[in-house]
Amino acid sequence: MVVANQIKTKFALIEPYLDRINSDLDAILLNYCKSNNFAYSSRKKDLFSVSEKFETARFKSWDEIDDLVACTIIVPNLNKEPEVIAFIKSKFNVVDIKNKQSFELNPESFRFDATRCYCKLKSLQTQVQTIYNQYTVEIQVRTALEHAWSVATHPLTYKSDIVEWEMSRLVSKLKANIEQLDMLIIGAADIKRHIISRGFTGVDFKKSIIRTTKKLLENKIIPAEHKPKDLSRYSENVFNLFRNSSDLRGYYKQRNFKQLIEFYENSLKSLSGSFPMSISLYQIVLGLFIQNDRLKDDSKLQFLITNEMKSIFPKSSEIKKVIEL
């Protein structure tokens, strides 16, 4: 692509400043995104894109270009968007915010409409602030689904060597699906009420594990230090233990599940006042199973048996299938 010399010259002059702004932008947002488990990416607009904007009269001066430096913050769902925007407002001089309510949209149209914040960076140094004031940066806030749609379809229609009605139609349909999925996610708590539960022993059992564990935590039978990081994951792990119990010969024997839940609760209660603090809650439950001969002899699971566990639950030394650290 041929670029006008005037554009080349000007771009070469400002490029070092754009690199500085891009780096400073990353320094602010990367740490924030990392601490909140948000994905993040940034870019500096290239010479050819800038040239195209001028040639097509989308901008009439360099000052009007609002995305020479741009970045994207990817959040799990739309509920996270307000807190991200609040953070942006606290760290940048916000020039404008364009979201889904900022413009009219034909209800039959489905296209890119992620929230965009146009900002200028802040600095306590006057010289640096002078540079910052010259350039506006664009910060997009997308949901994970919206980002996936954008990345997957961008080369198909927006930057492609061909124009096809069929492809544009497909991309719009995909956007409609993404929009619906995002709405389902943020409305899940209400929508689930309209789903008829058919029940499933595994799910019911995991719910019982979580319910019992919460009760034991509330009653301080289980010390707060032992609270699992993720109760749903913990219930899955304990459930797998129970499936390998000598009391459970059939996967769907509800009566045996009830007995195992009672064993789980009563065994942990028996430790009240002398609750082990040198091993995890899962290891304690495993130790109780082993010590009370509750595991099948042909169990396919392998276990981490630590020295601390052996001292608390001596029978754990007899386990053959162990993980070697």
Q: What is the pLDDT of residues 64-80, one digit of tens each?
A: 889 999 999 999 999 99
Quote the CA–CA distance of 142 and 208 in Å, as a whole number.
37
Confidence at residue 111, expressed as pLDDT on a 0 to 100 scale: 57
Average pLDDT of every residue of the chain: 85
Task: Read off the pLDDT of each residue in 92-113 and give the average, rounded to a whole number.
Answer: 70
Using the 8-state DSSP alphabet, how is residue 137 labeled? Answer: E
Kind plus residue range of the DSSP H or E element containing 46: none
Confidence at residue 323, expressed as pLDDT on a 0 to 100 scale: 80
Confidence at residue 322, expressed as pLDDT on a 0 to 100 scale: 81
Confidence at residue 64, expressed as pLDDT on a 0 to 100 scale: 86
For the beta sheet containing 115-120, the strands, ordered from the edge strand earlier in sequence to the opposite edge, are 39-44, 69-75, 137-143, 115-120, 93-98
Confidence at residue 197, expressed as pLDDT on a 0 to 100 scale: 75
pLDDT (tens digit per residue) in 182-201? 888 888 788 878 777 776 67
Q: Does the domain formed by 5-188 have CATH 3.30.460.10?
A: yes
Quote the CA–CA distance of 234 and 228 in Å, as a whole number.
7
- pTM score, two decimals? 0.71
Q: pLDDT at residue 105 above 60? A: no
CB 182 within 8 A of CB 145: yes
Where do the CATH 3.30.460.10 domains begin and end in the chain? 5-188
Where is pLDDT greater, at 278 or 124? 278
Coil vs helix vs strand at 294:
coil
Burial of 309 (0-12, 13-18, 19+ CB in 10 A): buried
Where is pLDDT greater, at 120 or 250? 120
